Structure 1
Amino acid sequence: MTLKAGYPFWLIKNGLPFTFPKLDQDIETEVAILGAGISGALVRYHLIQAGIECVTVDARTIGLGSTSASTSLLQYEIDVPLYKLTEMIGRKDAERAYQLCGEAIEKLEQITKKVGIEYFETKKSLYYAAYKKDVAWLKDEFEARKQAGFKVKWLEPEEVKEQYGFESHGAILSQLAAQTNAYMLAHCLLQHKHKEHKIFDRSPVVDIKHHKNGVTLTTETGYTIKAKKLVYAVGYEVVDFIKDDIVDLLSTYAVVSEQYNERNFWKDDVLIWNTADPYLYLRTTPDNRVLVGGRDEEFHDPAKRDKLINHKTKQLANDVNKLFPHLEFKPEFSWTGTFGSTKDGLPYIGEHPKLPNGYFALGFGGNGITFSLIAAEIITDLITEKDNKDVQLFKFGR
């Protein structure tokens, strides 16, 4: 599957920072990780920290799948609002899912500091009502988050206008959020002990056999990886490996502005998103640009998705200029990518009943990076046979 098209900003800005070899021999390992995007990189980091030998393999050049197309907002919010998720799975589980995402942001910051990675910025997040009819449920959401222990503040329309400079019908200001560059974050994490724990790219796996004692992967060139355990970190391409109807594929669009001479965006450069469906979201970049995304469509095929890039670019640029006319937003890079959503907004993490010795790290939704961190922790616990009570939240067949 072609996961993206256009000119993803991170790929243009950072190019190919590191190179990796193709698999050119048969190998054996404790754990094989299929996929070397941000999900695979985080799983690999956690396994190494736990003392587990692992080998990572990717069909593409590292990072050129969904990771390079990520807009890299880090939020504890799940695509399904907390008050609604509570109705679906109960208050205890809903709050736990949100709290895990909040903890994931803080843990990602700790990892970047420990490894010496610069691609992490703490931020606040502003979630505003796009329509007057959304105010009632957004206030319910505010109360649900406050009861769950999050530091949030309700802002009336005039407060949003005074502090952030645009019209709305009210908003939730959250203290906990961050932003990153998922492409470079993945690359830097993969440099961690890469000589001891091998990484291979441009090595498509064409056959996987699960058995009671392990898993055997065969590449298109005929080489094999024999592992005791296999972690699927393949994201939206999971539809190529399992038949479960667990995800609806969507196409999303993103645009980055030309570089501004001075930073004159909005207060605190908060992450901004709204209650529209699909929702609009904005963030800034360290080099004085504005990134806007949204205008999602149902995914049918890559050709139809890609034809809409120019049209969506104009729409998103207009969206920014309506909110912030003073920015005179001018697009420079735009792209589209495929992503997935689930019925409850939660990822699928853990073992699959029909695939022995296989584990899945499928961080679907708008906050896939935080889900990837959660998946890395849970899968590491499962492989090392440690108890993890959160696995039930994200299991297949829930």
Structure 2
Amino acid sequence: MKLHSGLPYWIVKNQLFDYYNPLRKDVSADVVIVGSGITGALAAHELCKAGLDCCVVDKRSIATGSSAASTALLQYEIDLPLHQLADKIGEENAAFAYRSCLESISDLERILKETGVNADFERVPTVFYASDAKGEDIITKEYEMRRRHNLPVDMLSKEDLKRRYGMNTYAGALTNGESAQADAYKAAVGLLEHHLGRGDLRVYTHTEIADIEEGNDGCRLISVDGHTIYCRYVVVATGFEAGRFLPENVMKLTSTYALISHPVDSRLIWPDRALIWETADPYLYMRTSSGNRIIIGGEDENFGNPKRRDRLLRKKVRKLEEKFHSLFPDIPMTAEMAWCGTFSTTDDGLPFIGPWDDGDRVYFDLGYGGNGITFSVIGAQIIRRALTGCPDRNDEIFGFKRLD
């Protein structure tokens, strides 16, 4: 299935990585990572650093799945506000999950620096604003609980938002300097290129895995063309397409829409180029690009099929434009490119990371929801620690055991 449609900005902005290397014979490795997007690339980085013999397999060209359509807002805030997540998994666990996401942004920054990958990573604030009067109550509860757990947050009144950001809305919460934005496609390609250049990673593109067979001593991955990869462990990093390898469904599919504007006069862009998102569900979100363009996303709805998703693109883009102009009436913004895609969400807004059952050799690295990149950093670390014999509290919160 096509994961996205339209014209994702990152595919236009970046030169495609022309790497073609289908699997043509049986091979072996310590770990096979299925998926070459940002999730698979981060997992490969962590496991290669740990000294494991790794290979990445993807049925597409490198990073041309969901990562090519990501808007790459890097926030420590999870789709479900902290006080709502606390109702589902307990306050301490919810705060721990938020803190893990906060740390993951700095971890990603460090990874990009140490590998020399230029992924246009930039530190920016986040403004979380109330969409309506009901949203003000969400902002107040969120502010109080974050403060109680020493998580970074400041309160913004309606007047503050109008004076500082020119926004016509209700109250808001500010996270100053802890968020970031990046180019997920450049990050994924750059990390894989880094390890290909070092000679400690093999990547097999245009190779679809038909089956994964797990035994006591290892796994066999069988490609559609009949070739086999023998390994000790498998990491499935294919987003919602991982469903075919899971014993049961753990997520729901969602269609999302995004646009990028013509370049805007830099003097008209809101201060600090903050990431912006709202309390509504589904929520509107936006960021800027390095070229003074504005990226806007949202208008999510339950996924029906790719054809219906694609047919709605023009209508959804008009709605995104209308919402933006209602919020920022003084910024002249017109869409230049637009795209839509499919992603997965969970009831608690958290990812699923780890094996389905204790002792399994197939690990899942599924950063579902709007925090896919930060979850991917966490997932890579959890799996690296697991495969090198180090326990990690994160696997209790982000693993499949929470379904019990």
TM-score class, shorter: over 0.9
Q: Quick one: distance in 2 between partners of 1:349 and 1:207?
A: 20
8 Å contact kept, 1:339–1:364: yes
Residue 163 of structure 1 aligns with which residue?
164
Q: Which amino acid aligns with 1:102?
A: L
Residue 186 of structure 1 aligns with which residue?
188
The Cα shift of 1:131 comes to 0.2
Runs of 4+ with >3 A deviation: none
Residue 350 of structure 1 aligns with which residue?
354
The Cα shift of 1:386 comes to 1.0
Residue 272 of structure 1 aligns with which residue?
276
Q: Quick one: distance in 1 between partners of 2:355 and 2:388?
A: 14
Q: Note if 1:68 corresponds to 2:68.
A: yes
Residue 260 of structure 2 aligns with which residue?
256
State the secondary structure of the residue aligned to 1:191: helix
Q: Quick one: distance in 1 between partners of 2:116 and 2:358?
A: 40
Residues 268-307 of structure 1 correspond to what in structure 2 (within 5 A)? 268-307=272-311
Q: Which amino acid aligns with 1:46?
A: E
8 Å contact kept, 1:210–1:355: no
Residue 98 of structure 2 aligns with which residue?
98
Q: Quick one: distance in 2 between partners of 1:98 and 1:83?
A: 11
State the secondary structure of the residue aligned to 1:15: coil
The Cα shift of 1:354 comes to 8.7
Q: CA RMSD in A?
A: 1.3
Residues 133-172 of structure 1 correspond to what in structure 2 (within 5 A)? 133-172=134-173
State the secondary structure of the residue aligned to 1:305: helix
8 Å contact kept, 2:264–2:332: no
Residue 112 of structure 2 aligns with which residue?
112
Residue 124 of structure 1 aligns with which residue?
125
Cα-to-partner distance string for 1:358-389 (whole Å, 9 max, x where unaligned): 10100001011000000000000111111112
Q: Quick one: distance in 1 between partners of 2:338 and 2:324?
A: 14
8 Å contact kept, 1:210–1:216: yes
8 Å contact kept, 2:93–2:397: yes
The Cα shift of 1:356 comes to 2.7
8 Å contact kept, 2:35–2:237: yes
Gapped regions of structure 1 (runs ≥ 5):
none
Q: Quick one: distance in 1 between partners of 2:252 and 2:15?
A: 31
State the secondary structure of the residue aligned to 1:282: strand
Using the size of structure 2 for normalisation, the TM-score is 0.96
8 Å contact kept, 1:20–1:199: no
The Cα shift of 1:118 comes to 2.3
Q: Which amino acid aligns with 1:124?
A: P
Q: Quick one: distance in 2 between partners of 1:336 and 1:355?
A: 38
Change beyond 3 A, Cα 1:18–1:110: farther
8 Å contact kept, 1:206–1:218: yes
Q: Quick one: distance in 2 between partners of 1:281 and 1:210?
A: 41
Q: Percent identity?
A: 40
Residue 10 of structure 1 aligns with which residue?
10
Using the size of structure 1 for normalisation, the TM-score is 0.97
Q: Quick one: distance in 2 between partners of 1:9 and 1:159?
A: 32
Residue 315 of structure 1 aligns with which residue?
319
Q: Quick one: distance in 2 between partners of 1:245 and 1:30?
A: 28
Cα-to-partner distance string for 1:230-263 (whole Å, 9 max, x where unaligned): 0000111122221422101100000000123545
Cα-to-partner distance string for 1:85-109 (whole Å, 9 max, x where unaligned): 1121111111100000000001111
State the secondary structure of the residue aligned to 2:361: strand
8 Å contact kept, 2:17–2:62: no
State the secondary structure of the residue aligned to 1:365: coil
Q: Which amino acid aligns with 2:381?
A: E
Residues 238-257 of structure 1 correspond to what in structure 2 (within 5 A)? 238-257=242-261
Q: Quick one: distance in 2 between partners of 1:262 and 1:366?
A: 27
The Cα shift of 1:138 comes to 1.4
Q: Which amino acid aligns with 1:24?
A: R
State the secondary structure of the residue aligned to 1:93: helix
Cα-to-partner distance string for 1:313-350 (whole Å, 9 max, x where unaligned): 11111111222233221111100111111111111001
The Cα shift of 1:191 comes to 1.1
Gapped regions of structure 2 (runs ≥ 5):
none
Q: Quick one: distance in 1 between partners of 2:183 and 2:268?
A: 21
Q: Quick one: distance in 2 between partners of 1:278 and 1:374?
A: 25
**Residue 393 of structure 1, aligned match among 373, 394, 397:** 397
Q: Quick one: distance in 2 between partners of 1:14 and 1:263?
A: 26
**Residue 344 of structure 2, aligned match among 315, 340, 346:** 340
The Cα shift of 1:397 comes to 3.7
The Cα shift of 1:283 comes to 0.2
Q: Quick one: distance in 1 between partners of 2:154 and 2:358?
A: 46
Q: Quick one: distance in 1 between partners of 2:382 and 2:200?
A: 23
Cα-to-partner distance string for 1:115-144 (whole Å, 9 max, x where unaligned): 112221001000000101211121010111
Q: Which amino acid aligns with 2:238?
A: V
